[in-house]
Amino acid sequence: MTSASQDRSNLIPFSSRLKEGRALAQDVWSIFNAANLPQDCINLGQGYMNFAPPEWVTEAAEVALRSVAPNHYSHPRGRIRLREAIKSFYDPKFGRELDVESEILVTSGANEGMYAALTAFLEEGDEVIMFEPFFDQYLPSVTFNGGKPVYVPLHPPKATQEKATSNDWTIDIDELRISVE
């Protein structure tokens, strides 16, 4: 057996934080990727497409890749033009002026944003309300940062309801109240 084919997974063991909170559990992407074998199977949940992007997207990407300015590290809070555009969009919705330096943070996605917020604000043992069902990566983000999950179920719409949407799921306020007492 060559050294390249030897199992090296135990050379440096994972921290206990990863073992607790299901951080090492199989995630939704791994499960769906294995199930996404048929050509006619389309996963709309995680941004996988089985078609090329529109030509205008590839042309814009090519222009961006050929310029110098957008190909440097961004500011840690996000590019100022993007933060200002976000501010312009949300100021009227919130009915107040947002501060691009202290109230707007651009992340590479929802997971990074959620993880950054939990890292910034959770103290060891803080309880975190987790409405079920939830995205499988939220639990490890909570527990890895010392949070204690408190589960509150969302209730699906009644079976008699036609054309139910995600907006039709409900929270039982009494269940929520009990979980925070």
Encode the chain (181 residues) as per-residue pLDDT tens digits: 555 567 766 677 766 666 666 666 666 666 666 665 666 666 555 666 667 889 999 999 999 899 887 778 888 899 999 999 999 999 999 999 999 999 999 998 888 999 999 999 999 999 999 999 888 888 889 998 999 999 999 998 887 778 878 888 899 999 999 998 7
Query: 79-101: string of b/e by CB count within 10 Å (b at 16+)?
Result: eeeebeebbeeeeeeeeeebebe
C-alpha 141/C-alpha 27 separation (Å) is: 13
Is the omega angle on the peptide bond into residue 157 within 30 degrees of 0, that is, cis? no
